[in-house]
Structure 1
Amino acid sequence: MIVFEGATVSVPGPDGDRRILEPLSVTLAERRIAVIGANGSGKSTLLKLINGLVTPTAGRVLVEGLDTVKAGRAVRQRVGFVFTDPLSQLVMPTGLEDVELSLRARLRNPTERRTTALGVLERFGLAPLAEQSIYDLSGGERQLMALAAVLAVDPRILVADEPTTLLDLRNERRVRRLFSGLDQQLVFTTHDLEFAADSDRVLVIDDGRLVFDGDPRTAIDHYRGLHLDAGKLPGDDR
């Protein structure tokens, strides 16, 4: 369970502090939660609060009862984070080495670590690509490698920031199928409203504020309404 208690994020500006996320109080307990909103609305900041990549300037965020500021390390052991661009996350020459890196703290024995890493890649259908350079992989293969590296340590919660934005249709479907089969609680941002509709609950963020929170179809209709009022459909800028 994830709890936001008046969580606020401000950044310094030339005319004083500027809020990029207004005070947010909400409890997230559902298995699949989507966060939608325009670029720059604050949805990525909301996600980064969950594992302490960003810390609140006021209020607090609790993950399974742990404060993300006071118990940041313990929170990050429970929360896996997947970035939009997998190349910002894959730091080793091959996917196999990246998964091994994720497992290093848990498995000290190199042989056991490699065997486990190969098993993880097999689970995701990536074993044939284990020792291929990450730069020779397709965008979808890289995203799956990044997911494998994060999920290798069995986080209790997975947070994903626009995980399908850079993917073609085939790989988008592949990632969505993978997400649908996960045991972890999943919180993700997306501009793909069909993907958002797969969730149990949708949060709509606009200009740093939570403006709607509810079932997927009603939330998506609300989001479309925000953009229709401005004379622009979501996705027109893609």
Structure 2
Amino acid sequence: MADGGNGRGTVRIALDGVTLSRAGRPVLQDVSLSTDARRIGVLGRNGSGKTTLARLLCGLISPDKGTVRVGGIDVARDRRAALRTVGILFQNPDHQIIFPTVTEELTFGLTQMGQDKAQAARTVSRVLSDFGKRHWAEAATHSLSHGQKQLVCLMAVIAMAPRVVILDEPFSGLDLVTRLQLGAYLARIDATVVHITHDPQALRGYDLAIWLDAGEIAQSGAAPGVIDAYVARMTELGAGDDLSDLAG
């Protein structure tokens, strides 16, 4: 299926023989995948390679071997195109927010993309209005709650209109009400979404699920089948008495 424009078509994500090591330890091993699904979930235990995959998909790091293409773009080689194509929402918003006010935070990425001051101001105003947060315009980012900061980061990503949005454990540390509220915003994203999580229930209803285990794809396919297999395996491991195995 051909790639479409932002939010108005599909985007093919293709990994071919992707291998990456850190300090001599393999993190991802010969990972290959090609999909144009619109809602993609990535499951795995801690240390399975999920966050590394997220960083590869947006071009923040390069594989030792293989290629990562998003919408036909080699994101490791063409950083400018990658910035326009893929946005990422990290687990901890304090690692992402760098400016003192919400408007400044939302404006930064737009100016990096080449928008002038007036264009950026119009875009920020539109995004704040779309999210019902115009009253946040001059709010101090340090005064916001964890969930509010995460929403600011999401708005900053959406403002840049990427074709693909990577969510790296976006609900970590949030209470149930905030998770539900943020989840409602995430459901509105008009782009391909890659949601990385250790929580299988967060991926119910997704088009595709990928189960990463020790840097390899253990299973991929329709979300219900992959989720059920993952839960069954985690239940099996949890019933054991080898705590060293549970440390992953």
Return the TM-score normalized by structure 1. Answer: 0.91
Moved over 6 A (4+): none
Q: Are the counterparts in 2 of residues 157 and 185 from structure 1 also a CA contact under 8 Å?
A: yes
Structure 1: runs of 5 or more not aligned: none
Per-residue Cα deviation, 1:61-106 (whole angstroms, up to 9, x for no partner): 1111121232232122100011011111111001111111122133
1:230 alignment partner, SS class: helix
Structure 1 residue 118, shift from structure 2 partner: 2.0
Check conservation: 1:158, 1:185, Cα contact below 8 A.
yes
CA RMSD of aligned residues (A): 1.8
Does residue 45 of structure 2 align to residue 38 of structure 1? yes
SS, match of residue 7 in structure 1: strand
1:138 aligns with 145
Q: Does 1:7 align with 2:15?
A: no
Q: Deviations over 1:155-187 (max 9, x none)?
A: 111011001112221221122212222210000
Change (3 A) 1:114 1:232: farther
Deviations 1:181-219 (A, max 9, x none): 221000011123221113111101111111010122211
Contact 1:24 1:210 in 2 (8 A): yes
Partner of 1:149: 156
Alignment of 1:48-63 (within 5 A): 48-63=55-70
Q: Cα offset for 1:117? A: 1.0
Q: Secondary structure at the match of 1:41?
A: coil
Q: Does 1:176 align with 2:162?
A: no
Structure 2: tracts of 5 or more residues without a match = 1-11, 241-245
Residue 106 of structure 1 pairs with residue 117 of structure 2: no
Displacement of 1:232 in angstroms is 4.9
Q: 5 Å matches for 1:208-227? A: 208-227=215-234
Does the aligned pair in 2 maintain the 1:165–1:191 contact within 8 Å?
Answer: no
What letter is aligned with 1:198?
G
The two structures have a TM-score, normalised by structure 2, of 0.87
* Residue 85 (structure 2) pairs with residue 74 (structure 1): no
Query: Which piece of structure 1 moves more, 120-129 or 77-86?
Result: 120-129
Rate the CA distance shift 1:48–1:98 in 2: closer, same or farther, 3 A: same
Q: Structure 2 CA distance, aligned partners of 1:170 and 1:229? A: 30
What is the deviation of 1:111? Answer: 3.9
